[in-house]
Amino acid sequence: MDRMTTARGDFDLARFPEDPRDQLRAWDAADVYLLRHLDEREGGPVDLSGTVVVLCDRWGALVTALAARRPAHRPVQISDSFLGQQATLANLKRNGLDADAVRLRTTRDAPPDRIDVLLVRVPKSLALLEDQLHRLAPYVHEGTVVVGTGMVTEIHTSTLKVFERLLGPTRTSLAVRKARLIFCSPGPGLPRGVDPWPRSHALPADAGVVSGLTVVNHAGVFSAERLDAGTRLLLRNLPTRTGPEHVVDLGCGNGVIGLAAALANDEAEVTFIDESYQALASAEATFRANAPAGVTARFVAADGLSGFPPGTADLILNNPPFHSHRGRTDATAWRMFNGSRAALRRGGELWVVGNRHLGYHVKLRRLFGNCEVVASDPKFVVLRAVKR
Ligand SMILES: C[S@@+](CC[C@H](N)C(=O)[O-])C[C@H]1O[C@@H](n2cnc3c(N)ncnc32)[C@H](O)[C@@H]1O
């Protein structure tokens, strides 16, 4: 946990899940710069008495600080991340605020019908920014105050062009502590065109049972433009099984792995899990477009397998994230492997694909007492561990 100091008070903030070994803060100079601007804007403080929407606030630093001002209208947070929402709830509580002090919305929910202040923490994915500004633009009016924020390394000419094209004239502030603000003045009825997301692409011919099928990708989803080479290696080497079984596509992204499991065994029941709402919407659309009738599927927003009934999964398929919310850590993969061990029944199997250099086999052997290499190429390896 760490303390964010602002002119309006200090806030104790942490990421989710909290990990004492994790030195990464839940806020940064870009959040502080934006909060300061709201009070110290040239020409007077920003009027926060209307509907304030905060897009892509990472761990809830912005909405926690805004909710602490006890505004007449509760701020609306729009997030793609289940982890980000859980962090927000925990951070509100840590700072003596009720869970309902903020209205939590996902990037897939309908936006509020009027937006008076739009604060944007520039997301890593330009596609997600484009998609979300397309969704919000109809609810922005000429008087809406739009302010973006990010570290200088996160704001590019292409970022500014998206604001300019979808909302109106855009300029940036000076950099302060390596953070920058974006000011945008919404213009009347811009010819913004249609949101290009979601997009679809056909899978290549060497992708096992899903070869040639169409996958649907919402903006910001992993490998949204083409099939990842690691995923392809797993798809080409999936287990062939029959009979009723519970399969989990863990960290499902656009759901191509879980779809393959459903096509390979039409008696399987598949649970797709991801922490990204854009990913889950993609997986559901991909599944509905291609899955055989009668296969049961569930789409669950969660932190890996936390909350999953122990000892009930027969097969877990996983291409773990390597970069986790900008942390370069394999902590998420390790949590996913631990969670898998608990979620599997005895005799159940975890299949993992990863970069060779990540050494996942060492972790799996330590946890499961066994680990076999099913397939490999110069870059990736597919591993199988059995719960004995
Ligand atoms: C490497 S991608 C794999 C996506 C997909 N399975 C594929 O192979 O194309 C990892 C996925 O894990 C998800 N993820 C990251 N952290 C997670 C967590 N704590 N719980 C659930 N999913 C998570 C990411 O959103 C991402 O979709």
Average model confidence (pLDDT) for the chain?
95
105 Cα: distance to centroid of ligand 1 (angstroms): 20
354 Cα: distance to centroid of ligand 1 (angstroms): 12
220 Cα: distance to centroid of ligand 1 (angstroms): 12
221 Cα: distance to centroid of ligand 1 (angstroms): 9
229 Cα: distance to centroid of ligand 1 (angstroms): 15
- In this predicted structure, what is the pLDDT of residue 191? 76
57 Cα: distance to centroid of ligand 1 (angstroms): 20
Ligand 1 atom showing the smallest separation from residue 335 Cα: 19
| Predicted confidence (pLDDT) per residue in 223-236, tens digit | 999 999 999 999 99
Q: Give the mean pLDDT of 214-220.
A: 98
374 Cα: distance to centroid of ligand 1 (angstroms): 21
| Predicted confidence (pLDDT) per residue in 252-284, tens digit | 999 999 999 999 999 999 999 999 999 999 999
Ligand 1: residue whose CA is nearest its atom 15: 321
Between 286 and 188, residue with greater pLDDT: 286
Ligand 1: residue whose CA is nearest its atom 10: 321
303 Cα: distance to centroid of ligand 1 (angstroms): 10
* Band (323; pLDDT cuts 50, 70, 90): low
3-class DSSP string for the chain: CEEEEECCEEEEECCCCCCCCCCCCCCCHHHHHHHHHHHHCCCCCCCCCCCEEEECCCCCHHHHHHHCCCCCCCCEEEECEHHHHHHHHHHHHHCCCCHHHCEEEECCCCCCCCEEEEEEECCCCHHHHHHHHHHHHHHEEEEEEEEEEEEHHHCCHHHHHHHHHHCCCEEECCCECCEEEEEECCCCCCCCCCCCCCEEEECCCCCHHHCCCEEEECCCCCCCCCCCHHHHHHHHCCCCCCCCEEEEEECCCCCHHHHHHHHHCCCEEEEEEECEHHHHHHHHHHHHHHCCCCCEEEEEECCCCCCCCCCCEEEEEECCCCEECCEECCHHHHHHHHHHHHHEEEEEEEEEEEEHHHCHHHHHHHHHCCCEEEEECCCEEEEEEECC
To test the ligand 1 pocket, which listed residue (280, 323, 332) has its Cβ within 8 A of the most ligand atoms? 332
Q: Give the mean pLDDT of 91-98.
A: 98
Ligand 1: residue whose CA is nearest its atom 1: 321
Percent of the chain with pLDDT over 70: 98
- In this predicted structure, what is the pLDDT of residue 329? 67
- In this predicted structure, what is the pLDDT of residue 22? 78
To test the ligand 1 pocket, which listed residue (274, 334, 379) has its Cβ within 8 A of the most ligand atoms? 274
Ligand 1: residue whose CA is nearest its atom 5: 253
- In this predicted structure, what is the pLDDT of residue 325? 52
Q: Is the pLDDT of residue 327 over 90?
A: no
Ligand 1 atom showing the smallest separation from residue 230 Cα: 8
User: Could you give all domains of the chain from N- to C-terminal order, each with its CATH number?
Assistant: 2-184 (3.40.50.150), 199-386 (3.40.50.150)
- In this predicted structure, what is the pLDDT of residue 187? 83
* Binding-site residues, ligand 1, Cβ < 6 A: 83, 222-223, 228, 231, 251-253, 256-257, 273-276, 279, 303-304, 319, 321, 324, 332
- In this predicted structure, what is the pLDDT of residue 324? 54
325 Cα: distance to centroid of ligand 1 (angstroms): 11
